[in-house]
Structure 1
Amino acid sequence: MDWPTFFEPIALSIQVSLIASVLVLLAASFIAWRMAKTRFFGKSLVDAVLMLPLVLPPTVIGFVLLVAFGRRSWLGKLYESLFGGPIIFTWEAAVIAASVVAFPLAYRTMKAGFEGIDAALENSARVCGASEWQVFRYITFPLAFRSVTTGYILGFARGLGEFGATLMIAGNIPGRTQTIPTAIYVAMDGGSMRMAWLWSGSMMVLSLIMLLVVNRLTKETD
């Protein structure tokens, strides 16, 4: 077996998912906190838009991202002017695809955690003179920590298994943009069932580890 060829998609998938999950953690935790703690007109619509990638077909997400980050779009032109090349068909494009598909799952989990916090605890801290930052740092975030962690892990697992959107915006270039799901697809298409099984087994093991951690965190909150 060509071990470098075997490990390349695994290493790239982990790299892409780690970066995407960190981006999702930063965005989803803040947005989930604000959505859980504020009321405004059209909140249901905003919440539905944030959850939309969870129900859209990956090909639709990939098409939208391809249009948004293509060489003719302002985002694509901005990236090309800053980094000297297009973002389409790069591993960075795979990070974007993984981030978009992972965001709703992480957001939903984190939002539930923030909504489950007793508002009386936060209000008591405000009455005692705590600032909003202090309330968030010492009360809100610690109480929602397990939900935020669970959302992060689920986002990582979701990004790890992304296929359709990644294929459309990042392609399937061995050693550059080929992740585990796209490698499995190519292996099956080429009749290399042994490699397909090995990559599928690697994906199942990684996903199982993520789910075991999530289950442990969930039990600790009961």
Structure 2
Amino acid sequence: MFYWKPEQEVYLIEQVLFKKKYTIREFYRALYKGLHTFKDLRMGKKSGQLSNHFVERIMLAVTEVNGCEVCSYAHTKIALEQGMDEKEIKGLLSGTASDIPEDEMLAILFAQHYADTKGNPTEESWNRILAAYGEQTALGILGATRLIMAGNIYGLAMSALKSRIKGRPVKGFSFIYEAGMLISAVPFLPAAAIHAFILKRMQSPMIQFEPEKAGQGTLTN
């Protein structure tokens, strides 16, 4: 649960925080994947295929799965400033999908599935996104999902460190982990940017599937 106060209004958000914890290796993996598909997100927004509200719904949905406190603050603020309904924001951050537009529901479910599997969605789930939205929009959805995943992983460590400084250490987190994750961003960011650039030049597939993940599980709407 947290409060966000824009000027005189106070919004109460019900959310379970710190639901996941990622390794340094998983952070690097999420970072280069996010950079690999960042251009697709930007193109999707520029073309009008992905509205600002659509992108924020994806980011709020992924943030709910991971339970990142600082990302919840930031994207609640962005969503409210963009004119999104307060009830819908609360619903997304508490795992309720009743107010999501029907044509965006499958994308939101995919984003949640992507986060829940720590970036290892099933091939079947991705094929459903391709069939429903077409390749260009699907890649934009993937780009938004991956970008907030990387942000969440970093944000979880930042949130835990802030909580520790306030005398409320998060169970399962340590100072060494929190500091190490935050410091790792310094060498990781340029390395991940180079990694993503090489993948682009080699025309590597935008998404790959682990053998044990392929065909396991489905998205339901």
The alignment's TM-score, normalised by the length of structure 2, stands at 0.29
The alignment's TM-score, normalised by the length of structure 1, stands at 0.29
Q: Which has the higher helix share?
A: 1
